[in-house]
Amino acid sequence: MRISVTRRILTGNLPELFGVYREGIRMKMRRFAAVGAMAAAVLLTFQLPGASAGQLGRGDQAQPVDQSLRALGNRHDLRIGTAVDMAALASDTTYRERIAKEFSTVTPENVMKWETIEPSPGSFDFSAADQLVNFARQNGQQVRGHTLLWHNQLPTWLTDGVANGSITADRLRTILRDHIFAEAGHFRGKIWQWDVVNEAINDDGTMRDTIWLQKLGPGYIADAFRWAHQADPHALLFYNDYNIEFTGAKHDTAVALVKSLKAQGVPIHGVGLQGHLGLQYGLPDAPTLAANLKHFTDTGLAVAWTEVDVRMPLPNDVYKSQAQAQGYSIVAQACLLNPRCLSLTVWGYTDKYSWIPGWFTDPPQGAANLLDENYQAKPAYQAMRTVLALSTGPHKRS
């Protein structure tokens, strides 16, 4: 399986990135016990908009917990999605069936990235991505396109050409424009959300020193959004990055970036917060995460959790599993607390095909997903269902 090499949390000032953050929002709190044998230990301390005392158990509010994530998310107008490994989709019947049942959106792990889509100059291969789009259509699912512009998983003809000078800055701009028009145009009307620009900001808040910034200057981000909108005016266009859900320099730069794009009239519609969490760094609380999401929605944009997983040092045990469940529930709570949070996508739903053990090896980490390698539900899965089922609603997303 091809693993994306930047599906990672970069190290830096870990207390700053993952510590307990004090800026937040005041809200009423309510504690309720999770339902179900595995979820009983997960205690949630929040009250969603519109809830009042006594509503939790009402038949017109709470829902049976034993529904799919897809069904439970629908009552909040919230799409619950997963990243998809295309090799597993083709070969593993259980994997395929669970995706169809549990999720209302799908995201390609790798098959919409540049090295796959345009392996040689001007030669495009949409076959694998088309298979995913067709699967989604057959199962009534939306597609998140990932990603039009990134600094990794680029074809060697492009990176080598820039390095040796055979691709000039003017030529690179034309290549980028043509690629975006070709890919976004090919999927015109079939993609709900595009991650147009991915991971353009460093942990310290500076702009990442990529070939795009070096050769095209900072305006390349606005250009990418304009070209994507021209190619597909129906798609919602997102800036996507990791660690911007935590306060700090990177978060501040991301807020400033999208404000600047909005001020320029650039067609940007949302911000994707990846949501890669690690138990060893501690977990934030739901009100703090909700407050940080609000920093983005206050600019007039939507938000989405785009790549959520909660990894742990191996081996797993009952205590880590319960802590992981709390991590997933916190992310779901933060989304439900913001009416402009449109979707929550997990980066893979079963440990059988997780990218994490292949990347985090010293010390070994993994067990980051909702289901184990045998497709058995973990406390995290039950906690997600509990949040979606017992939160009062439904809540209209906007």
Known catalytic residues are 199, 307
Given a contact cutoff of 8 angstroms between Cβ atoms, the answer to whether 112 and 146 are in contact is yes
Write the single-letter amino acid at 175: I
How far apart are alpha carbons 256 and 254 in whole angstroms?
A: 5
Q: What is the 3-class SS of the chain, one letter each residue?
A: CCCCCCCCCCCCCHHHHHCCCCCCCCCCCCEEECCCCCCCCCEEECCCCCCCCCCCCCCCCCCCCCCCHHHHHHCCCCEEEEEECHHHHHHCHHHHHHHHHHCCEEEECCCCCHHHHCCECCECCCHHHHHHHHHHHHCCCEEEEEEEECCCCCCHHHHHHHHHCCCCHHHHHHHHHHHHHHHHHHCCCCCCEEEEEECCECCCCCECCCHHHHHHCCCHHHHHHHHHHHHCCCCEEEEEECCCCCCCHHHHHHHHHHHHHHHCCCCCCEEEECCEEEHHHCCCCHHHHHHHHHHHHCCCCEEEEEEEEEEEECCCCHHHHHHHHHHHHHHHHHHHCCCCEEEEEECCCEHHHCCHHHHCECCEEECCCCECCCCCECHHHHHHHHHHHHCCCCCCCC
The two three-digit tokens of residue 19, written as one number: 């510590």
> First-to-last CA distance in the chain?
37
Contact 348, 82 (CB under 8 A): yes
